[in-house]
């Protein structure tokens, strides 16, 4: 498999989940500004939407959209999903909220003006509160880490990066996830990808 990613972008949730699942994966970096990969390929030939992540399976099928990729990883490694009659439904319910409500609420931080960013801070805080109210602890759904935790971790990492205040419960969740070996490995890999020696394409300022 190969994951197309951009360091620090939402594709980090897929990288964390792939590492947690122990699935052998190659990684190819995409410059989101130019849509050129680190191997000089036009990324739009892989994903016409031009957004990361894309997971290309061993048979060549390209899967796009965070929700679909994370669900696929949980399907390959059920310990990263939820069991029980409504397990998968609850997982997709959370992934959809993270994608279509929380993730999207950050857009003004990259594409908006000052007033839009101020408004975004309120919207993000409101949506994080809704998630926090559902957090069972220590992870979103209880004692087991799922792909939804990986996605929430990336969103909280953005929130911290933009100096948005996190509640004690979400800060504790963030610190707990950050301690996981697979998460540390994924973060170290993405940090290494940003070193000048490893960056044949210019770093794009566009992240999301
Ligand atoms: N609907 C897509 C959106 C993914 C997305 O917004 N990716 C961002 C990085 S976090 C991106 O690639 N932005 C650049 C672009 O869309 O041109 C998904 O959920 O996977």
Give 155-190 pLDDT, tens digit per residue: 999 999 999 999 999 999 999 999 999 999 999 999
pLDDT tens for each residue of 33-62: 999 999 999 999 999 999 999 999 999 999
Q: Do the beta carbons of residue 208 and residue 13 sit within 8 Å?
A: no
Res 208: pLDDT = 47
Where does 73-161 show beta strands of DSSP type E? none
Does pLDDT of 205 surpass 60? no
Rounded Cα gap, residues 18 and 8, in angstroms: 15
Res 22: pLDDT = 98
More confident of the two residues 196 and 89: 89
Res 38: pLDDT = 96
Protein residue closest via CA to atom 8 of ligand 1: 208
What phi and psi, each to the nearest 5 degrees, are found at residue 27?
Answer: -125, 135
Tell which one of 10, 13, 158, 162 to mutate to probe ligand 1, the residue whose CB is within 8 A of the most ligand atoms. 10
**Closest ligand 1 atom to 30 CA:** 12
**Closest ligand 1 atom to 53 CA:** 20
**97 torsion bin: left (phi>0), alpha (psi -120 to 50), beta (else):** alpha
Cα 90 to middle of ligand 1, angstroms: 23
Q: Is 32 in the pocket of ligand 1 (CB under 6 A)?
A: yes
Tokens of 86: 């409504």
Res 195: pLDDT = 79
Rounded Cα gap, residues 5 and 174, in angstroms: 22
Q: Is 183 in the pocket of ligand 1 (CB under 6 A)?
A: no
Res 194: pLDDT = 86
Q: Is 12 in the pocket of ligand 1 (CB under 6 A)?
A: no
Q: What is the mean pLDDT of residues 140-150?
A: 98
**Closest ligand 1 atom to 32 CA:** 14
Q: Is 30 in the pocket of ligand 1 (CB under 6 A)?
A: no
Q: Is 33 in the pocket of ligand 1 (CB under 6 A)?
A: no
Res 6: pLDDT = 98
Q: Is 52 in the pocket of ligand 1 (CB under 6 A)?
A: yes
Give the pTM: 0.95
Q: Is 99 in the pocket of ligand 1 (CB under 6 A)?
A: yes
Q: What is the mean pLDDT of residues 11-25?
A: 98
What phi and psi, each to the nearest 5 degrees, are found at residue 3?
Answer: -105, 125
Q: What is the mean pLDDT of residues 66-95?
A: 98
Res 25: pLDDT = 98
Res 203: pLDDT = 36
**52 torsion bin: left (phi>0), alpha (psi -120 to 50), beta (else):** beta
Mean pLDDT of the chain: 94
Protein residue closest via CA to atom 1 of ligand 1: 65
């Amino acid at each position: 498999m190969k994951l197309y990613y951009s360091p620090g972008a939402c594709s980090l949730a897929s990288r964390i989940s792939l590492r947690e699942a122990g699935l052998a994966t190659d990684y190819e970096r995409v410059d989101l500004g130019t849509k050129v990969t680190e191997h000089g390929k036009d990324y739009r030939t892989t994903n016409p939407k031009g957004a990361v992540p894309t997971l290309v399976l061993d048979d060549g099928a390209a899967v796009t959209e965070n929700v679909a990729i994370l669900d696929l990883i949980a399907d390959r490694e059920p310990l990263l999903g939820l069991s029980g009659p409504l397990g998968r439904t609850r997982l997709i319910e959370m992934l959809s909220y993270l994608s279509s409500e929380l993730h999207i609420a950050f857009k003004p931080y990259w594409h908006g003006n000052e007033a839009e960013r101020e408004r975004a801070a309120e919207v993000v805080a409101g949506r994080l509160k809704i998630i926090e109210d559902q957090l069972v602890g220590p992870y979103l759904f209880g004692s087991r880490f799922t792909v939804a935790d990986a996605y929430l971790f990336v969103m909280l990492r953005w929130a911290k990066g933009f100096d948005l205040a996190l509640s004690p419960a979400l800060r504790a969740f963030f610190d707990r996830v950050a301690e996981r070996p697979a998460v540390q490995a994924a973060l170290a890999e993405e940090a290494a990808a940003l070193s000048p020696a490893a960056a044949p394409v210019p770093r794009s300022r566009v992240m999301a």
